[in-house]
Amino acid sequence: MIVPKIEFRHVNLRYFTPKGETLALRDINFKVEQGEFVSIVGQSGCGKSTLLSLLSGLIKPTEGEVLIDGKTVTGPSPQVGFMLQQDSLFEWRSIVDNALLGPEIRGDDMGAARRKAEALLTRYGLGDFLHSKPSELSGGMRQRAALARTMCLTPDILLLDEPFSALDFQTRLSIADEIGDIIRKENKTAVLVTHDIPEAIAMADRVIVLSRRPGRIKSIHDIAFPSHGNDRPGSFAARETTEFPSYFNTVWEELEVHVE
Ligand code: ADP
């Protein structure tokens, strides 16, 4: 039997505050296979970030279970890497020293880590910027540097929380294309949270639509682009396929229903 990489089993999550309690997620059930790219869409406040916090082990379900490789998540693990909206690069460190932050904190062999960081940055097109400061890089280059920093710890699951939303539209399109390509080539399992429907569809093998709070799974859509042939198109080319508009309309209508 193949164990799913990620599994949510009947997960409820309540936040308790002095003002009362909020049911943020209700009866969340889904599985993600190794190497799959899943997007989660839903309106602001529907529990998308909460879902990622559960996966990263930062919070525990009130009821139910979150499993990685068939084992209950009990806390943060180096197996899970994060990419956030803000790249959080340290301005006083060079790009390569930013990428080395994780190995340094973990106490890894720094010689090997440096070779790995340099190889990753070079592969991501930043070979000429190893010793530059983050302020010398464009927004898209900074996000690639942030990805290298995450990949330096060799996670096998990547959680992407609106990672492109601080970028301008053009950069956003091309960096999503590049980063999607890197994640697929490296056979990572990825969960992307976004409120951008085209981005969710263009990058993923499946799109999970969450209802408004308390977030429940409204639907799950398998995304395939047979018109493009056997190879999955990159996120840029996916937007040009004949299948794309119909996926967009379906997800759009599902989210619109909640506005009414
Ligand atoms: P999204 O990422 O979809 O915008 P969140 O997961 O951030 O949604 O939040 C889901 C709901 O839970 C929201 O109503 C939010 O106000 C509430 N919430 C999030 N974090 C906390 C917290 N630490 N304490 C109390 N309520 C929270």
Pocket test for ligand 1, best of 26, 49, 54, 191 (most atoms within 8 A of CB): 49
Residue the block writes with tokens 């006083």: 92
Residue 112 shares a structural domain with residue 178: no
Ligand 1 atom with minimal separation from the 46 CA: 3
Q: Please provide the DSSP assignment of 73-139 as one string.
A: --S--TTEEEE-SS----TTS-HHHHHTHHHHHHT--HHHHHHHHHHHHHHTT-GGGTTS-GGGS-H
Helix, strand, or coil (residue 259): helix
Q: Which residue did the predictor score with more confidence, 260 or 6?
A: 6
Residue the block writes with tokens 């400061």: 133
The answer to whether residues 95 and 130 touch, using CB atoms and an 8 Å cutoff, is: yes
Residue 21 shares a structural domain with residue 64: yes
pLDDT at 257: 55
Residue 223: inside a domain:
yes
Ligand 1 atom with minimal separation from the 17 CA: 25
Pocket test for ligand 1, best of 28, 43, 50 (most atoms within 8 A of CB): 50
Residue 84: inside a domain:
no
Domain extent, residue 50, equals 6-79+158-259
Helix, strand, or coil (residue 206): strand
Residue 225: inside a domain:
yes
Taking only the tens place, the pLDDT of each residue in 99-136 is 999 899 888 999 999 999 999 999 888 999 999 999 99
Distance 215 CA to ligand 1 centre (A): 10
pLDDT at 87: 82
Distance 217 CA to ligand 1 centre (A): 16
How far apart CA 20 and CA 258 sit, in angstroms, is 24
Q: Which two tokens mark 202? A: 């263009």
The answer to whether residues 26 and 216 touch, using CB atoms and an 8 Å cutoff, is: yes
Pocket test for ligand 1, best of 14, 28, 46 (most atoms within 8 A of CB): 46
Residue 144 shares a structural domain with residue 186: no
pLDDT at 232: 86
Boundary of a domain, candidates 119, 154, 189: 154
Distance 112 CA to ligand 1 centre (A): 40
Phi-psi region of 226 (alpha: psi -120 to 50; beta: other; left: phi over 0): alpha
Q: Looking at the predicted structure, is the pLDDT value of residue 260 above 50?
A: no
Residue 213: inside a domain:
yes
Taking only the tens place, the pLDDT of each residue in 206-228 is 999 999 888 999 999 999 999 88
Residue 1: inside a domain:
no
Q: Any bridge partners for residue 157, and if so which? A: 80, 189
Residue 93 shares a structural domain with residue 66: no
Strands 6-17 and 189-194: unpaired
Q: Which residue CA neighbors atom 17 of ligand 1 most closely?
A: 24
Instruction: Give which of 178, 245, 214, 202 is closest to 39, Cα–Cα.
Output: 202
Boundary of a domain, candidates 114, 136, 154: 154
- How many domains does the chain fold into? 2
Residue type, 146: A
